[in-house]
Amino acid sequence: MNKIKSLVFAGVFFGLLWSGSTTLVWACKAMGPDKHVGMVQKVDLEAKTFSIIDAETRIEITFGASKKILDQIKVNTRVVVTYGLEGETLVAKDVKT
């Protein structure tokens, strides 16, 4: 009986894990081009950058940003970043919390 409970638990756990991750993937792709969704990990006022953990890829992405944008975001906040490319640098054009 314990084996059956363990198998049911594992099935439910991995089912929820899988459905949760596909929801995050869908949310990022649904945002459209030049957008990332994620949690703010770092804000560096001196370097004029901030980093997020992307909800789709789980990779840390760093953006250059204006003081106005940096002042409105906080670590551990979920954001949608609209960005552009300036040379080889991703630059946040707009951030929604």
Which pLDDT score is estimated for 19?
A: 40
pTM: 0.69
Contacts with 62 (C-beta within 8 Å, 6 or more apart), sequence order: 49, 50, 51, 90
What tens digit of pLDDT does each residue of 23-80 get? 333 346 667 889 999 999 999 999 999 999 999 889 999 999 999 999 999 999 999 9
Domains of the chain: 2-96 (2.40.50.320)
Tokens 């909800």 belong to 55
DSSP class of 70: H
pLDDT higher than threshold 60 for residue 4: no
Mean pLDDT of 11-24: 40
| Residue 91 CB-density burial (10 A; 0-12 exposed, 13-18 middle, 19+ buried) | middle
Q: In which element (H, E) is residue 50 found?
A: strand 49-54
Which pLDDT score is estimated for 89?
A: 93
Q: Could you tell me the pLDDT band of residue 13, with boundaries at 50, 70 and 90?
A: very low
Contact criterion met (CB below 8 Å) for 55 and 38: yes
Look at 75 and 9; give whichever has higher pLDDT.
75
Tokens 């609209």 belong to 82
Mean pLDDT of 2-29: 43
